[in-house]
Structure 1
Amino acid sequence: MSPLSRSITRKTTNGPFLDKPVSREHQHLLMEAASRAPSHFNSQPWRFVLIEDKAKRERIAELGGSSMERLIAEGKFFERYRPYFRFSEQEMQERRDGILIDQLPGPLRPFTRQITSPGALGLLRALGVPKVLGEDNRKLIAGSPLLLAALLDKTEYRPGELSGFYSILGLGMAIENIWLTTVELGMGIQFVSTPMEIPEAWEEIKRILEVPDELELMAVYRLGYVPPEKPRPRIDWRSDHRKRISQYVFRDSCRTPERDD
């Protein structure tokens, strides 16, 4: 195995998972992988909730779908992330960041020519994009056999202090360990981000998971086994491009970009 092979094979799964429960053995392997991440003074401030209960998964799915629909319809999602939308391979090759939206239903394709126009949001609404994305998001979450909530222990997680930064750094590395391990288990994983952007939706997820005062809910992910043929949602994108070394690495100081060769 080459030094980069595990990192290069890391993927985000945008599509559906197999209708098959994640084995208890694999769940525990993922948790063991998370536990091997480094943390400040080996504090291990992370906590996880493995969510298999169908009713809870469906409630979280409803929140994921409704929050996606609301974010798109109100323009918040569009305004925040528009700088990262790419609609051509040429643009993606030049910028090498963001998402290449390469799967769109026919009626939505003209939207790509008006992405930067003042009337773009009105067009999105008229074409029913918020509802389509919201329903697709709900189905993806509800059809995921396992959801994973990541939390931090407030004993260590103190925002505004170094311990808060260290805790987030450690949790990030623990999540990356989980992500890399899913590849080896034939699984996929995706961040369920939209409820985080709607405060009342996030509070509802805390209630569903009965999060106690001493813990802080930080993120939710959906997981499952990846089908051999990977069907794509009606609106989908790719994000496999990465910046060139010269675009993000410097030599000796921030004034000297590293050479690509």
Structure 2
Amino acid sequence: MDLIDGMLARRTTNGPFRPDPVSREHQHLLMRVAQAAPSHFNSQPWRFVLIENPDTIAQVAGIAGQSMTELIEGGVFFERYRRYFRFTEKEMEERRDGIHIDHLPGPLKPFTRQVFSDAGLKLMRQLGVPKKLGEDNRKLVAGSPLLLAVLLDKGEYRPGELSGFYSVFGMGAAMENIWNAVGALGMGIQFVSTPMEIPRHWQAIQDLLRVPGDLELMAVYRLGYLPHDQARPSIDWSSRHRKRLDQFVYRDTCEQPERE
């Protein structure tokens, strides 16, 4: 039951970590739980890079911050992910998916519904929102004591073939093991996703990590120990709602939703 309770309590950390280094013992434990994940034919196609070097972390942080600024400035982020944004508790209760933007600076609150319009984007630029979000993102990554890069062996990871699916499935299982384990260690984890949205920035991270030709960089995460009293970022969201059983589970055929 402790394991199940931990899985149900899983969180993503949107705020800062403590500056304390992540112990080598905990780093290796996280690698062990990743290693315990299932993979096709026990191929273990995943590879990991543990990044503690402050200069490397600072460079990744700069790339992440610049990526966020560009995505917001150009309207790409909101256009690409608009279907996941919720602005009221009622909407969250009905849909039970996406993220609820429930924490905003005062000047932005009256304009939440216009965020996807040209007028809303213009206002955000005038208020310096893209640069603010970019700098917030940079600080979060820069203040993380540990980054984790996840790669796949191209000998196993062949997109377009079943091996491609199997490899991504195994990598997902490995990362989920890590995600569920960090809570037991007093740690948090967050996906550093924005560089992936812009190819030249993603290439810059690959160059920084000296990724060889036989590996594919798939994702980067930031990790650290959680502070005891964590303040929310200036722009934040909640995503604790989950769909009801009848919204995602069926009985016998896809025509019969499962009831609670």
When the two structures are superposed, what TM-score results if normalisation uses the length of structure 1? 0.97
Aligned match of 1:215 = 215
Offset at 1:3? 6.3
2-structure distance, mates of 1:62, 1:252: 50
Superposition pairs of residues 41-190 of structure 1, within 5 angstroms: 41-190=41-190
Superposition pairs of residues 196-235 of structure 1, within 5 angstroms: 196-235=196-235
Unaligned runs of 5+ in 1: none
Cα deviations by residue, 1:167-216 (Å, 9 ceiling, x for unpaired): 00000000000000001000000000000010000001001101000000
The count of residues paired between Structure 1 and Structure 2 equals 260
Report runs of 4+ in structure 1 exceeding 3 Å deviation: 115-118
| SS across alignment from 1:119 | helix
2-structure distance, mates of 1:225, 1:2: 21
| SS across alignment from 1:212 | coil
1-structure distance, mates of 2:138, 2:2: 38
Contact 2:103 2:237 in 1 (8 A): yes
2-structure distance, mates of 1:256, 1:221: 38
Aligned match of 1:28 = 28
2-structure distance, mates of 1:62, 1:191: 15
Instruction: Label 1:3 to 1:257 Cα distance change in 2 as closer, same or farther (>3 A).
Output: farther
Bigger shift: residues 32-41 or 106-115:
106-115
| SS across alignment from 2:156 | coil
When the two structures are superposed, what TM-score results if normalisation uses the length of structure 2? 0.98
| SS across alignment from 1:70 | helix
Unaligned runs of 5+ in 2: none
Instruction: Label 1:191 to 1:21 Cα distance change in 2 as closer, same or farther (>3 A).
Output: same
Cα deviations by residue, 1:106-127 (Å, 9 ceiling, x for unpaired): 1111121323544222222122
1-structure distance, mates of 2:15, 2:179: 16
The one-letter code matched in structure 2 to 1:249 is V
| SS across alignment from 2:78 | helix
1-structure distance, mates of 2:67, 2:2: 41
1-structure distance, mates of 2:219, 2:3: 29
The one-letter code matched in structure 2 to 1:133 is L
| SS across alignment from 2:189 | strand
Offset at 1:2? 5.4
Cα deviations by residue, 1:140-187 (Å, 9 ceiling, x for unpaired): 000000000000000100111100110000000000000000010000
Offset at 1:234? 0.7
Contact 2:78 2:116 in 1 (8 A): no
1:16 aligns with 2:38: no
1-structure distance, mates of 2:95, 2:144: 33
Cα deviations by residue, 1:203-252 (Å, 9 ceiling, x for unpaired): 01001101000000000000000011111111011111101111011111
Aligned match of 1:243 = 243
Bigger shift: residues 83-92 or 38-47:
83-92
Pairwise CA RMSD: 1.1
1-structure distance, mates of 2:2, 2:179: 18
Aligned match of 2:255 = 255
The one-letter code matched in structure 2 to 1:150 is V
Q: Could you tell me the percent identity over the aligned residues?
A: 66
Cα deviations by residue, 1:82-113 (Å, 9 ceiling, x for unpaired): 11111111111111111111111111111213
Instruction: Label 1:106 to 1:220 Cα distance change in 2 as closer, same or farther (>3 A).
Output: same
